Homo-oligomer: A and B are copies of this chain.
């Protein structure tokens, strides 16, 4: 299991297959967070196009290939496209995991199609009620994992409980957090705050045996008060998009202001500044709760982001996140 394949949907993403193949090459040459042997990467897509593009990018270092004749485009309705395109690259990636030829999928294409293909094709881990999407932010130097980021916009309280449990298992096995502190995103710290759903989720989390720190507020994400932030997929999705845009917006404003004030930044300083708000180093979003590792990258991911998503997939697969979640949900109170 520890050396199993990572299936990369080469056709997914805004600049596919160029960006995805450049990302695969970057992962192999160690430009991502982890150097990945080429033989661990299963490139899934239109094989003649992949081969031609690889020649253009400098050659094939020894990847594995699987042909898929169809592509689900960004704007397509996920459910319809999955039915209409049985030979899609994302579908074939999921199939490779289902058939145990691979242990992870990395896709930068249509998010809904990726979630749909994985949920239907892999099924959920026994005991999991609803998969959730986790994103790990590393802004404060201490990773904070937020879930759900959009798989489940109207969760029930026990879904939220499981997000806390699955997030904890992920943080333990992949982020080196021994006893992750779980917070419930709410409008106030006091116990009785929020909607009926959140009051119920609070009770469940408090009784779960997880390291539950109680309610946390929007600003607490940057205050290091917890390692896992549990929220519904609606709020999570809004937050994620807001942070992405706000970070780039604010940075542009600050750089503009510095320029106006005559402050001349060297290339190195500019690079450091951009690294401060760089979302790319966090890899992709992780679909937790399905039978296999599924990493969903941003459609606009560049080669470094893709290399990092591949590294994240290797780490999650080798750490056995899926197996740990199965065991953790069976006995959440002993998950430490």
**Residue from A246, A263, A265, A266 whose CB has the most chain B CB atoms within 10 Å:** A246
A225: shortest Cβ distance to chain B, in Å? 11
Contact with B along A202-239 (1 / 0, CB 8 A): 00000000000000011111110000000101110111
A269 to chain B, nearest CB (A): 4
How many chain A residues touch B (Cβ–Cβ < 8 Å)?
Answer: 50
Bound complex: CA A251 to CA B246 (Å):
12
Do B223 and A245 touch across chains, with their CB atoms under 8 A apart?
Answer: yes
Judge whether B273 and A254 touch: CB under 8 Å.
yes
The A221-278 residues at the B interface (CB cut-off 8 A) are 221-223, 231, 233-235, 237-247, 249-251, 253-254, 257-258, 260-261, 263, 265-266, 268-269, 272-273, 276-277
Contacts of A265 in B (CB 8 A): 261, 263
Contact between B233 and A258 (Cβ–Cβ < 8 Å)? no
Contacts of A261 in B (CB 8 A): 265-266, 268-269, 272-273
Distance in angstroms between the alpha carbons of A238 and B243 in the assembled complex: 12
The answer to the question of A187 belonging to the interface, with a C-beta cut-off of 8 Å to chain B, is yes
The yes or no answer to A123 lying at the interface (CB within 8 A) is: no
Task: Indicate the member of A154, A222, A234, A239 with the most B CB atoms within 10 Å.
Answer: A234
**Which B residues lie within 8 Å of A81 (CB)?**
none
B150 near A187: Cβ-Cβ < 8 Å: yes
User: Across the interface, which residues of B come within 8 angstroms of A221, CB to CB?
Assistant: 242, 245-246
Q: Which of B247, B253, B273 contacts A276 (CB 8 A)?
A: B253
Is A153 an interface residue when CB atoms closer than 8 A count as contact? yes
Say whether A80 faces chain B, with CB atoms less than 8 Å apart: no
A109 to chain B, nearest CB (A): 16
* Bound complex: CA A242 to CA B154 (Å): 21
- A250 to B233: give the CA distance in the assembly, Å: 25
* Among A153, A250, A273: residue with most chain B CB under 10 A: A250
Q: How far, in Å, is A188 (CB) from chain B's closest CB? A: 8
Any B CB within 8 A of the CB of A320? no
- Of B218, B231, B251, the contact of A237 (CB 8 Å cutoff): B218
| Closest CB in chain B relative to A131 CB, distance in Å | 16
In the complex, A222 Cα to B187 Cα: how many Å? 23
| Residue among A195, A249, A254 facing the most chain B CB atoms (10 A cut-off) | A254
CA distance A154 to B257 in the complex (A): 40
Contact across chains for B218 and A238 when beta carbons are under 8 A apart: yes
Query: Measured between C-beta atoms, what is the minimum distance from A202 to chain B in Å?
Result: 14
Q: Could you list 20 examples of A-B contacts with CB < 8 Å?
A: A153-B187, A153-B195, A185-B238, A187-B234, A217-B238, A217-B241, A218-B238, A218-B240, A219-B246, A221-B242, A235-B235, A235-B238, A246-B246, A247-B250, A250-B251, A250-B276, A253-B277, A254-B273, A258-B269, A261-B265
7 interchain residue pairs of minimum CB distance:
A219-B245, A218-B241, A218-B242, A261-B269, A218-B238, A219-B241, A222-B249
